[in-house]
Amino acid sequence: MEALVETLTDRQFLIALLAAISAAAIVFTFGAQFADGKDMKSRIRRVASERERLRTDELARLRGEDKKVGASGRRKDFIQKTVERFSLKKAFADEQTSLKLARAGYRGPNAVMTYVFMRFAIPLGVFVLALFYIKFIIMPDALLFLQITYAMGAGIISSYLPVLLLTNKVKKRQSSIRRAWSDCLDLMLLCVESGMSIEAAFQKVSIEIVTQSPELGEEMTLTTAELNFLESRAKAYENMAQRINLDEVKSVMTALIQSERYGTSVGSSLRVMAEEGRDMRMMEAEKKAASLPPKLTVPLILFFLPVLFIVIMSPAMITIFAAPSVG
């Protein structure tokens, strides 16, 4: 016991013990920092991967590639199997089909499948209905060859129905975007000049412009997503110009691409484009106002002048017919 007490109270022993404790503390401190650094790196990698997954899911949702289950999923499986079995893509689709569908607001491979299937199913369905209607209602006594010929003619005409509907959808979408594009440029100019980045400006404008044009808000939202994950902003600008396919949009996207490539001021480019957009809008309004008098000529002659003559001449005619005749 005395030996243990002497050992614990020995000066050399206490120095060695304190040195060992200090060395252990130093090793533990540095080791903890390295462990925290590795854990921090792993957390950063997890956050980055999660962010990339969210961006991919959001882009897929905007492009219409979200997965649905149930009856809708079974219907899509049936359409896909039918298209693949009869090789309908080779017959009814080309390289520009997906781009045309994107311009109409239909994105993703499911849109192409549905469009191709409709071009195949609509003529077939119209042929069957027309044959039944002609055979049993319109021309029950006609020859079968003549009935089939008329039904085939109806089916061939109906084959252009999906193309016409798609073209009409594209025109309506472009008209909505054209009406709101000038205001969109003004909002983007305000955002950029206030100090926002181009990504933040696109995101802010996409939220504000959706009340005026949902189609333009959708395109701006999709472009915002592409600006966040594509390697080059120029590619996102080119995609937006191709999807919308309007001259005024293409000119603005070209200006943004040149600003990105040569390092010029984005605000200056947007200011010039916004002024041109307002001038074009005023010219379009003046053009419509100038075309109004010729359009009113025919309605004026057919509807206004006869009524005006009746109102003017009716009192005189009533007075003439009401006057007593002189015998």
Residue 168 pLDDT exceeds 80: yes
First-residue to last-residue Cα distance in the chain: 165
pTM of the model: 0.68
Q: CA 150, CA 135: separation in Å to the nearest integer?
A: 10
- Asked, for residue 45, whether it belongs to a domain, the answer is no
Q: Which helix (H) or strand (E) holds 198?
A: helix 198-208
How many structural domains is the chain composed of?
Answer: 1
- Which residue range forms the structural domain that includes residue 231? 176-281
**pLDDT tens string 81-131:** 888 888 888 888 888 898 999 999 888 778 888 999 999 999 999 999 999
Domain membership of residue 309 (yes or no) is: no
**Is 252 part of any domain?**
yes
Whether 238 maps to a domain, the answer reads yes
Q: Is residue 219 part of a domain?
A: yes
Please enumerate in sequence order all residues whose Cβ is within 8 A of that of 186, keeping only pairs 6 or more positions apart, or say none.
274
Looking at residue 56, its pLDDT comes to: 60
Q: Which pLDDT does position 69 carry in this prediction?
A: 46
Tens-digit pLDDT profile for residues 179-199: 999 899 999 999 999 999 899
Q: How far apart are CA 263 and CA 216, in angstroms?
A: 27
313 occurs within a structural domain: no
Q: Is residue 271 part of a domain?
A: yes
Q: Would you say residue 215 lies in a domain?
A: yes
